[in-house]
């Protein structure tokens, strides 16, 4: 869960590619038939009513292999690899173009070249990091600590985990519209400071978590030793102890999702009173925020607790902590020994991934993070035709119209609430493929021989870009993803949707495919994102993007009761022995899946224009629709990565998202599940929210 926006997939794959010819990789691609369905992937030995995921994907799972450098595989990886190769070709062309200095093409080529220059990185060693390490070593007072922490504040623009800013920074900054006044931007301060994914990794007594903590401490010590830092083992214990206290101070994911608990606009002067410990005046001045009138404290208990720790914990503990995180954050662009240590923990231990991604892939991933819009502009010119944009925009209009009609049919909703819901639907802003305006990178210096410096300057550029928004009019057309990202997003404060070009590819979207497959796949994605405007959090915002209650008490009670039925449904799913999905933590995504699939189904039938759907490959239109949905969520995932997702992510694993079909009456008509079968729900028990 992120403040103000939601992400479609738990993986939220970032694009990675190469200049060199990329070796062939397999994501177990579908051999789609004329129906748009992977017929060979279906396991006819499984009853749809017992396990729709394994019915739709069972034969695919028997042969699919997770690439050695990945933690999972499935349709998202299949589409991602297509975007990856395209990005590789684009960057290769940029390097060969001899573009002039200062141009986007030259910056792209130079950034990539610097990342790939391993000999230069090895030769320079820790030299590029020395200014930061010396600044940390010079901390001699609590004021110095506040200054270093403030200077290190960075903006949260990663579309995965905003409510826990997981870098070496104790806090993170998020800039967006005010919760109760969407007419101007304000800064939000977020809790952060952990080296492992979530607080549960520090606090859980689960055997696997205890073992992970031991491996994390060993990794911290190894990284410090690699840097030649004395007493590395003792310092690693100190760092883990401090991070454990940070974890205890933080609020959990479910609490972070409560938008009302996040609405805390504090005047700057009140931080010292409300969250004593940190020298806030020095901190905000170093962060460039001292001119702001208010800053919203997103997680009040977390911010209070973290502030208190800056005063109660020894300065040396903070210096050790900051030194480790400086190394940890930069490991990928330090000599190979550092990158390998980092992968050993984050790749192998946390995700179960056997092999590190080739360097060219990591180089493209980093280029896309630092110069995302520069790459994106070239990407859409070459790979996203106007015809695809128009076709998807028409699908969006159809699905929005179906949602509007659906609201009229809700017998539980009172006229007053219905009117507000329809007004919100009518005002949703939809952007398909790419933004209307692009980032201007002219002030960002990129050198062909300074890999770490390029990354650091790009982070500072992004931070300054976010700060600049505080003095500018709200841009309701702002994008939070690049066009080459395989994902989609809902932006409640903007009341807007973004559908990047890279996800608008087969098998999610095929302009030549049968309508049933397109509506069951990309249509459900579109419906999912629209539904986020009306999930347990999105429904808190009105048509203008303000936090406002537009519900009658009886409508709100019905809505919340239906949501709790969905919580119970997902609580019953066991991902690993003894590890169940957290239905409350995943509620928003589950509501969006149920509602999005419902609306896509209605829009599909509307698209038929009253004519019966053809039978293709022996499948009815409805069967193809639901199979396309189930196959969109197919995945194989390593146990460590699955554990990380269940514990720390607001999305349920794909296997359980595919079972969403059990809540739609149309699925029962299409596949005839019987009472007593695992997925069968009596009509009264099927969750219907929108």
Cα gap 337→284, rounded to integer Å: 36
Give, in degrees to the nearest 5, the angle at Cα 595 between 594 and 600.
105
Output DSSP code: residue 295.
E
- Residue, of 50 and 394, whose pLDDT is higher: 50
Residue in 549, 593, 543, 586 with CA at minimum distance from that of residue 568 = 586
Domains along the chain?
6-89+371-685 (3.40.390.10), 126-333 (1.10.1380.10)
Over the stretch 205-219, which tens digit does the pLDDT of each residue have? 999 999 999 999 999
Over the stretch 121-172, which tens digit does the pLDDT of each residue have? 999 999 999 999 999 999 999 999 999 999 999 987 543 333 334 455 899 9
Taking CA atoms, 165 is separated from 92, 157, 331, in Å, by 33, 10, 18
Cα gap 569→506, rounded to integer Å: 31
State the first-to-last Cα distance of the chain, in angstroms, to the nearest integer: 21
Please, which residues bridge with residue 616 across strands?
619
Taking CA atoms, 145 is separated from 136, 280, 313, 329, 415, in Å, by 8, 11, 12, 19, 56
Q: Which pLDDT score, from 0 to 100, does residue 166 have?
A: 47
pLDDT higher than 50, residue 80: yes
Other Cβ atoms within 10 Å of 463 Cβ, number: 19
Highest mean pLDDT among 237-241, 383-387, 529-533: 237-241
Q: Which pLDDT score, from 0 to 100, does residue 21 have?
A: 33
Q: Which pLDDT score, from 0 to 100, does residue 152 have?
A: 94
Contacts of 19 (CB under 8 A, 6+ apart): 88, 91, 92, 95, 112, 116, 360, 363
Cα gap 147→252, rounded to integer Å: 28
In 3-state terms the chain splits into helix, strand, coil percentages (rounded to 5) of 55, 10, 40
DSSP string, 644-657: HHHHH-SS--HHHH
Cα gap 134→129, rounded to integer Å: 9
Mean pLDDT within 31-57: 92
Query: Are 628 and 521 a contacting pair, CB within 8 Å?
Result: yes
Q: Which pLDDT score, from 0 to 100, does residue 493 have?
A: 80
Mean pLDDT within 352-376: 95
Over the stretch 607-646, which tens digit does the pLDDT of each residue have? 999 999 999 999 999 999 999 999 999 999 999 999 999 9
pLDDT higher than 90, residue 27: no
Output DSSP code: residue 175.
E
Length of the chain: 690
pTM above 0.85, yes or no: yes
Q: Which pLDDT score, from 0 to 100, does residue 29 have?
A: 53
Q: How confident is the model at residue 15 (pLDDT cuts 50, 70, 90)?
A: very low
Residue in 198, 331, 327 with CA at minimum distance from that of residue 644 = 198
Q: Which pLDDT score, from 0 to 100, does residue 32 have?
A: 67
What's phi and psi for 500, nearest 5 deg?
Answer: -60, 155
Cα gap 583→570, rounded to integer Å: 5
Give the residue ranges of DSSP H helices in 7-117.
Answer: 52-63, 75-96, 104-116
Residue carrying structure tokens 């293709």: 616
pLDDT higher than 50, residue 181: yes
Over the stretch 294-310, which tens digit does the pLDDT of each residue have? 999 999 999 999 999 99
Q: Which pLDDT score, from 0 to 100, does residue 168 have?
A: 58
pLDDT higher than 70, residue 293: yes
Query: Are 163 and 299 a contacting pair, CB within 8 Å?
Result: yes
Residue in 258, 269, 268, 270 with CA at minimum distance from that of residue 299 = 258
Average pLDDT of the chain, as a whole number: 91
Q: Which pLDDT score, from 0 to 100, does residue 161 have?
A: 37
Mean pLDDT within 68-92: 94
Q: Which pLDDT score, from 0 to 100, does residue 487 have?
A: 92
Give, in degrees to the nearest 5, the angle at Cα 29 between 24 and 31.
125
Q: Which pLDDT score, from 0 to 100, does residue 16 have?
A: 26
Over the stretch 498-525, which tens digit does the pLDDT of each residue have? 999 999 998 999 888 899 999 999 999 9
Over the stretch 320-339, which tens digit does the pLDDT of each residue have? 999 999 999 999 999 999 99
Q: Which pLDDT score, from 0 to 100, does residue 546 have?
A: 86
Mean pLDDT within 17-26: 36
Mean pLDDT within 430-459: 96
Query: Are 295 and 266 a contacting pair, CB within 8 Å?
Result: yes
């Amino acid at each position: 869960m992120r403040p103000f926006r939601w992400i479609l997939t738990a993986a939220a794959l970032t694009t990675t590619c190469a200049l060199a010819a990329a070796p062939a990789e397999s994501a177990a691609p579908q051999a789609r038939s004329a129906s748009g369905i992977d017929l060979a992937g279906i396991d006819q030995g499984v009853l749809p009513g017992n396990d729709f995921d394994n019915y739709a994907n069972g034969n695919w799972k028997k042969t699919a292999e997770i690439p050695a450098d990945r933690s999972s595989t499935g349709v998202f990886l299949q589409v991602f690899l297509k975007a990856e190769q395209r990005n590789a070709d684009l960057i290769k062309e940029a390097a060969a173009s001899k573009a002039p200095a200062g141009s986007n093409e030259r910056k792209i080529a130079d950034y990539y070249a610097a990342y790939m220059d391993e000999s230069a990185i090895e030769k320079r060693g820790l030299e590029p990091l020395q200014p930061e390490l010396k600044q940390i070593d010079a901390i001699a007072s609590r004021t110095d600590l506040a200054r270093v922490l403030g200077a290190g504040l960075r903006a949260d623009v990663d579309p995965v985990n905003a409510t826990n800013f997981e870098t070496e920074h104790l806090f993170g900054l998020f800039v967006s519209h005010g919760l109760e006044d969407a007419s101007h931007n304000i800064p939000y301060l977020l809790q952060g400071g952990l080296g492992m994914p979530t607080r549960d990794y520090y606090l859980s007594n689960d055997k696997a978590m205890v073992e992970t903590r031991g491996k994390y401490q060993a990794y911290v010590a190894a990284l410090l030793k690699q840097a030649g830092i004395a007493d590395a083992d003792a310092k690693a214990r100190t760092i883990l102890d401090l991070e454990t206290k940070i974890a205890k101070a933080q609020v959990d994911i479910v609490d972070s999702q409560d938008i009302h608990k996040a609405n805390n606009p504090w005047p700057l002067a009140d931080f010292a009173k409300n969250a004593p410990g940190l020298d806030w005046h020095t901190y905000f001045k170093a962060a460039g925020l001292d001119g702001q009138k208010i800053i919203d404290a997103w997680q009040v208990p977390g911010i209070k607790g973290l502030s208190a720790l800056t005063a109660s914990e020894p300065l040396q503990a903070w210096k050790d902590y900051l030194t480790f995180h400086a190394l940890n954050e930069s490991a990928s662009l330090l000599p190979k020994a550092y990158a390998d240590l980092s992968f050993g923990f984050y790749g192998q231990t946390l995700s179960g991934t056997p092999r590190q991604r080739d360097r060219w892939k990591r180089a493209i991933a980093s280029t896309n993070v630092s110069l995302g819009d520069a790459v994106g502009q070239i990407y859409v010119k070459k790979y996203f035709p106007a015809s695809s944009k128009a076709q998807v925009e028409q699908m969006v209009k159809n699905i929005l119209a179906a949602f509007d009609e659906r609201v009229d049919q809700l017998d539980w909703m009172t006229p007053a609430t219905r009117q507000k819901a329809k007004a919100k639907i009518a005002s949703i802003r939809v952007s398909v493929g790419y933004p209307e305006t692009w980032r201007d990178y002219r002030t960002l210096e990129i050198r062909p021989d300074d890999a770490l410096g390029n990354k650091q300057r790009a982070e500072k550029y992004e931070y300054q870009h976010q700060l600049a928004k505080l003095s500018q009019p709200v841009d309701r057309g702002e994008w939070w993803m690049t066009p080459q990202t395989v994902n989609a997003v809902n932006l409640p404060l903007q009341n807007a949707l973004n559908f990047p070009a890279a996800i608008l590819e087969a098998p999610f979207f095929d302009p030549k495919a049968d309508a049933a497959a397109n509506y069951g796949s990309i249509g459900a994605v579109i419906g999912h994102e629209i539904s986020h405007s009306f999930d347990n959090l999105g429904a808190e915002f009105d048509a203008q993007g303000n936090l406002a209650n537009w519900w009658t008490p009886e409508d709100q009670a019905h809505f919340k009761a239906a949501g709790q039925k969905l919580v119970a449904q997902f609580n019953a799913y066991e991902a690993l022995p003894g590890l169940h999905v957290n239905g409350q933590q995943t509620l928003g995504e589950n509501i969006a899946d149920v509602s999005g699939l419902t609306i896509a189904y209605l829009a599909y039938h509307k698209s038929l224009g009253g004519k019966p759907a053809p039978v293709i490959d022996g499948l009815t239109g409805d069967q193809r629709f639901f199979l396309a949905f189930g196959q969109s969520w197919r995945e194989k995932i390593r146990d460590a990565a699955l554990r990380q997702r269940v514990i720390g992510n607001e999305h349920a694993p794909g296997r359980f998202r595919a079972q969403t079909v059990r809540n739609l009456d149309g699925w029962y008509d299409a596949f005839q599940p019987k009472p007593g079968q695992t997925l069968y729900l009596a009509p009264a028990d099927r969750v219907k929210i929108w």
